[in-house]
Structure 1
Amino acid sequence: MRKLTWGVWLGTSMLLAACGGSGGSQDSGLEPPPQDPRFVADNAQWREERRERLLQPDGWASLVGLHRLELNAHYVGSGATNGIRLAKGPEKLGLLQQSGGRVWLVPERGVALTLDGEPVKARFELKPDTDQSPSIVGFDEGNGQLSLLQRSGGKALRVKHADAETRTQFGTLEYWPADAGWRIDASFVPHATPRTLEIMDITSQLQALPNPGVVEFERDGARYRLEALEGEEGGLFLVFADRTSGHESYGPGRYLYTDAPDRSGAVVVDFNRAYNPPCAFTDYATCPLPPHENRMDLAVTAGEKRYRRPTP
């Protein structure tokens, strides 16, 4: 296994990405070998579905605000006199109150709001995203949404709107050509005892997330290990950075889901499905960053490339 002796690299990559700079291309310039048409078509479909998810009216591209709750009461709305000023929405939406770890919203008189799709006029409690039934508050005839986030650093109000410029003026998602050589047979090695891994997000908050084990794979004669987080339906979630980060790919790293490993631990890691976190498209997401263990001395020339926002 290669040692990672270049810890400063990720910080530099993030700075390059934040400033819009890019490093030199690491592509070899050689034409990739012909690929199975079915494999290429399958990846094309996955990419189209990913774009559709991003551009849903309440998708990640619709984020227009992330407001920390610092006081016991905040007026909310797009008007200048509100403590939490919305980028889009009614001038006065309501009064947000918090006490004893709970949060309530008192709707402004005459403003049409919904709670989980049902009209609401009286004071109600906002359930955070950590709750089994988190609350979704709708406004602007359903084009806008408010939700409550609960993190180790406190609470915040997340705001989405279908008319967000990041959605209506969304650019192009670029990818490396689909390459079956980056669909790698790997091994999942569970940790001997249950454990968590502290993950920092892009807002510098730490969160301990379940860390069931590591994924090991080989590439070009070298062996690599990635600490895995819990995914969906028994699968794994990999948050990683590599030698393309900050150059061809997004500086703070990329994400990748796998299916559940089989009984022997065999699992496929398809880097063609590596994709950018939401913070590549909006300034209002709280994206987990790769832990130090997942900064690979390897150029992963597969999956989604760095997103370039359209110039006005």
Structure 2
Amino acid sequence: MILRSVLSLLLLLIALPLPAGEATSVDDDHLAATEAWRSARYEALKRPDGYLGFIGSGLVHEGESRVGSAPDSDIVLPKGPAWLGTLRLDSNGKTHFRSAPDGAGRIDGATFDDVALKTQLDEGGPTRIDFDSAWFYVVRTGDLVGWRLRDLDSPLRAQFDGIPHFPVDRNWRIEAEWEPFDPPRTLEYLTVLGTPESGTVSGQAVFEHDGQRQVLWPMDAGEGRLFFVFADRSSGRSTYGGGRFLYADAPQNGRVVLDFNRAYNPPCALNGHVVCPTAPPENRLRILIEAGEKTPATP
């Protein structure tokens, strides 16, 4: 799952992309670096804790919910014991889990009776309840509390064989000009659930394409990285409708490199059990970017 931020950047182009239909520019070093990046991305997706491992999700309602694979459960799991336990969401947003009497679930390898559950936003969280090859936990998105189930034997994980993508084209590795904001600005965006989120934007990247000024706002991703969620004229056609993600290194000498060959699908495009940010109005480009990942064959 995801969810924490989105964008700030604007700019002047250094390498103009070729018009559609013309030969792409291939640089052996750039091609090799892009393919290595793609290989690492696929390996991350296929890890036990990768996004392909989700097999169940839903919202948690206030009060008590019986959790298990039995059809009459309040939270029906796609696999596991008929009754795993009872999940309680208090009015203050805190969650507790009381184990079923047979103690099928484990936390850190040990049985338990009743435990307060941490979400992914809490230090040391989320609390993971293991059973069979799967594990159950709770997450928070804005004011909403949800549950997730991962499985080492996830069909998506077992069947994954890559993601369609455009040919690598070095002309889509663009040096944009960085325009800092003073003071920083606030970016508002929605998740795929329609829940509002916001983040602080310290500047914008600007570049020129087809004689028009293009602007992108990124979020600070930490460790000297910028994170963009953007859409373009390919969105909803050859690429995912909610937009794509792109990371860039922090600006140097007033410029930031936007390599759209590394534009990739958000996790929710690969697995419907994940919540992602969608492209905000500030990052909906009026150009066609035929670079990076296309719509996945298996949404």
1:230 corresponding residue in structure 2: 220
Q: TM-score, normalised by structure 1?
A: 0.84
Whole-angstrom distance in 1 between the partners of 2:249 and 2:127: 30
Whole-angstrom distance in 1 between the partners of 2:222 and 2:164: 26
Instruction: Report the residue type matching 1:278 in the other structure.
Output: P
1:176 corresponding residue in structure 2: 166
Which gives a bigger RCO, structure 1 or 2 (Cα 8 Å, sep 6+)?
2
Superposition pairs for residues 196-275 of structure 1, below 5 Å?
Answer: 196-262=186-252, 264-275=253-264
1:59 corresponding residue in structure 2: 50
2:148 counterpart of 1:154:
no
After TM superposition, what 4+ stretches of structure 1 lie above 6 angstroms from structure 2? none
Instruction: Report the residue type matching 1:149 in the other structure.
Output: V
Pick the aligned partner of 2:282 from 286, 293, 303.
293
Contact 1:171 1:308 in 2 (8 A): no
Whole-angstrom distance in 1 between the partners of 2:212 and 2:98: 59
C-alpha change, 1:124 and 1:42, in structure 2 (3 Å) is same
2:80 counterpart of 1:89:
yes
2:50 counterpart of 1:43:
no
Q: TM-score, normalised by structure 2?
A: 0.87
1:104 corresponding residue in structure 2: 96
3-state DSSP class of the match of 1:208? strand
C-alpha change, 1:171 and 1:309, in structure 2 (3 Å) is farther
Identity %: 35
Deviations 1:90-145 (A, max 9, x none): 22111111223211111223334333x3423221111111112212314234x312
Q: How many residues were matched structurally?
A: 280
C-alpha change, 1:90 and 1:188, in structure 2 (3 Å) is farther
Instruction: Report the residue type matching 1:39 in the other structure.
Output: H
Contact 1:136 1:145 in 2 (8 A): no
Deviation at 1:89, TM superposition (A): 2.1
Deviation at 1:297, TM superposition (A): 0.7
Range with bigger deviation, 130-139 or 74-83: 130-139
Deviation at 1:54, TM superposition (A): 1.1
Whole-angstrom distance in 1 between the partners of 2:201 and 2:250: 14
Contact 1:231 1:258 in 2 (8 A): no
Deviation at 1:290, TM superposition (A): 0.5
Instruction: Report the residue type matching 2:74 in the other structure.
Output: G
Where do 5+ consecutive residues of structure 2 fail to align?
A: 1-18
Whole-angstrom distance in 2 between the partners of 1:186 and 1:69: 43
